[in-house]
Structure 1
Amino acid sequence: MESKYKNTFSGDYFLGLRENSEYEKAKITILPVAYEGTCTYGKGTKNAPKAIINSSLQLESFDEEALFSLDNLGIHTLKSQNFSGKTKAKSVVEKTKEITKQILEDGKFPTIIGGEHSISIGSIQACAEKYSNLSVLQIDAHTDLDKAYKNEEYSHASMANKVLETTNTKFTQIGIRSITPELINIASNTNTKIFFAHNIINKKHKISEILETLNKNIYLTIDVDAFDPSIFPNTGTPEPNGLKWQYIINLIKEISKKRNIVGFDLVEHSSTNPKKPHYSDFSAAKLIHKVLCIIWKEKVKQQSS
């Protein structure tokens, strides 16, 4: 890893972990990408990485549900990539891809904290170059399948479309509850399987059905608007009747047992003021921590068997 990306200062480490936090020792990297350039409704995603990392300092490194701690794995938090709203989304995607590719080449697990959903294009592209036949598990209220949104092909609303166009991946989308006939048509003509929120809530789909749509290697992207707004009210486009916390955790547990998650991001959380924490900042930090514990508990178990 080029030294310009390493975190060499004392603050802003996810969970505040110091042990094994050197880049060379760490198995997990946190890449904060503070970008908000194509959002069209609620604002604040550019502030989210700092707010989430600040809130993570209040977390225990041990997760009570997974019965697992990240202490000994080592987590290195890279320097935050901060972009102005005037930066072209394509440039942000290219930089995110460049850094994620280096993380993967160094044998580490990329965890990206956004930022708007367009940043996921770059990290998924990097993973798709390393892992053939990659599946993307997109937990989201929206399909992000627009060819372009407001004339921007690298928009947060075009993330999945751009990834499908530029990689050999397929998408499984969970929690969708805002869509158009045109987007349904795009999904049916691409490698995209949609599980609508209302069908999940009404228990019309088992987790095993979702698993059947996924290849071995998985990139996990979580847009917090997939959750019910009672859990994550601070997001750009909140949609009512969202998924519950425990359902998503249970889904990730099962996928971690049966598949290989190779990268992960959390996006679209909004923070109006990182210096004044909101409970959803803490929830976002808690979610990242819990997901990493679930994923790495299974990885450690499989590596030792």
Structure 2
Amino acid sequence: MSLKHRIIEQFDPNGVSTYEGIFGLPFNEETADLIIIPVPWEVTVSYSPGTADGPDAVLNASYQVDLFQSDIHDAWKMGIHMLPVSNEIHNLSSSHRILARNYIQWLEAGSPEEDLERFAAVPDIINKASLEMVDWVYAQAKKYREMGKQVALLGGDHSTPLGLIKALTEEYDSFGVLQIDAHADLRKAYENFEYSHASIAYNALKFPQISKLVQVGIRDYCQEEAIMAKENNRIHTFYDKDIKEDMFEGKAWKIICDDIVEQLPSEVYITIDIDGLDPKLCPHTGTPVAGGFEMEQVLYLMKQVVKAGKRIIGFDLVEVAPGPHGDEWDGNVGARVLYRMANLFGVSQGKLNLK
């Protein structure tokens, strides 16, 4: 009997877990099929901070998530393991976040000439540090992919998945990206930061292997982004306003999901910014926007992606931020999205069965 099977036999999924792994699961990087890379990074966040603490918030809340899934038998047995949250990355983020925040405040003040010398070098400094983060994520993803593991990412802000996406472009000649988000994230070097959280979709499209970017729930974007989304034939955007108007006029969410899935190629990377949800579910995220989806709407869409035979090749969940005074609500919602996505990922990879 393998080590993994012995672990499964000894673990009680209905009891109180004594394990410190995510969701209280007993697996490690050797025995888990899915490795989650936590990235505590938020250097370029331009509104409210806190997403660097997202991985810890999700981990702490994950112990309250029951493991049973009514439509995926024994889902927990696939094995999920989250790597330790890197203090080095967190510290790098914290130190550069202060510099970026001061620079953003200078921009918002109209870039006063008297402080130009003080701030002129900041974008290069931030870009260099951000590239270090991207390269670190890329190295982690490559390591575990070469071990035969499936890999997901837990941010941090929305700049964090670029290294994972880069690693997947070296394995797949062509794939799509499904983006759940309040924001288009198509800005070129927003606030002069090349790896801005507001530029992840723009940066991802630099990879020619990404044949299609399908955006869902977008409701806060600039004119330049709207023009790019309209004119770039690799982008198909389902705006929140249009989705809601269709629903108000009687179009079923199932039919809308079918329309979304139809735009996707056979292999798909999924990026979920928690602010794509209604902000009552994620009030402390970095840039909350009124509107958005219920959690079950998004997870129903993901189930339809899998039922349509699309193959998920990786995913991320980003922009979860804990509330003040130990408020775990955002982490609780994030943990439930993460667990369900991990299980649907397993189904699409043939490691679990969907009823």
TM-score in terms of structure 1 length: 0.89
Contact 1:52 1:285 (8 Å CA) reproduced: yes
**Against the structure 1 CA distance between its residues 298 and 261, is the aligned structure 2 distance closer, same or farther, given a 3 Å change threshold?**
closer
Cross-structure match for 1:76: 81
| 1:265 aligned partner, one-letter code | D
Matches within 5 A, 1:217-256: 217-256=267-306
Give me the whole-angstrom Cα distance separating, in 2, the residues matched to 1:257 and 1:73.
19
The one-letter code sitting in structure 2 at the alignment partner of 1:179 is: Y
Task: Report if the CA contact (8 A) 1:46-1:116 is conserved.
Answer: yes
Structure 2 counterpart of 1:128, one-letter code:
T
User: Residues 218 and 262 of structure 1 are in contact (CA less than 8 Å); yes or no, is this contact kept in structure 2?
Assistant: yes
- Are the aligned partners of 2:78 and 2:351 in contact in 1 as well (CA < 8 Å)? no
Q: 2:228 aligns with which of 166, 186, 211?
A: 186
1:241–1:22 distance in 2 versus 1, CA, 3 Å = closer
Return the match for 1:198 from 219, 241, 265.
Answer: 241
Of all paired residues, the percent bearing the same amino acid is 33
Tell me whether 1:13 sits opposite 2:25 in the alignment: no
Give the aligned length.
Answer: 291
Query: 1:302, CA displacement in angstroms?
Result: 7.9
- Deviation string 1:61-102 (CA, Å, 9 cap, x unpaired) is 2224x3433332122221223332217211111111111122
Q: Is the 8 A contact 2:312 2:348 kept in 1?
A: no
Q: Does 1:271 align with 2:322?
A: yes
Cα distance in 2 for residues equivalent to 1:298 and 1:94: 28
Unaligned runs of 5+ in 1: 1-9
Residue 12 of structure 1 and its aligned partner are, at CA, apart by 4.6
Going by fraction, where is strand more abundant, 1 or 2?
Answer: 1
TM-score (norm 2): 0.77
Q: Secondary structure at the match of 2:39?
A: strand
Deviation, 1:168, is: 2.1
Residues 1:52 and 1:302: Cα distance change in structure 2 (over 3 Å): closer
- Alignment partners' CA distance in 1, 2:63 and 2:352: 29
Deviation of the 1:188 alpha carbon: 2.8
Residue range with higher mean Cα deviation, 78-87 or 193-202: 78-87
CA-based RMSD: 2.1
Q: Give the Å deviation of 1:241.
A: 1.2
Give 2:122's aligned residue.
none
1:7 alignment counterpart: none
State the Cα distance separating 1:157 from its structure 2 match: 0.3
Shift of 1:35: 0.6
What residue in structure 1 maps to residue 11 of structure 2?
A: none
Unaligned ranges ≥5, structure 2: 1-17, 97-125
CA distance in 1, matches of 2:158, 2:221: 17
**2:39 is matched with which residue?**
33
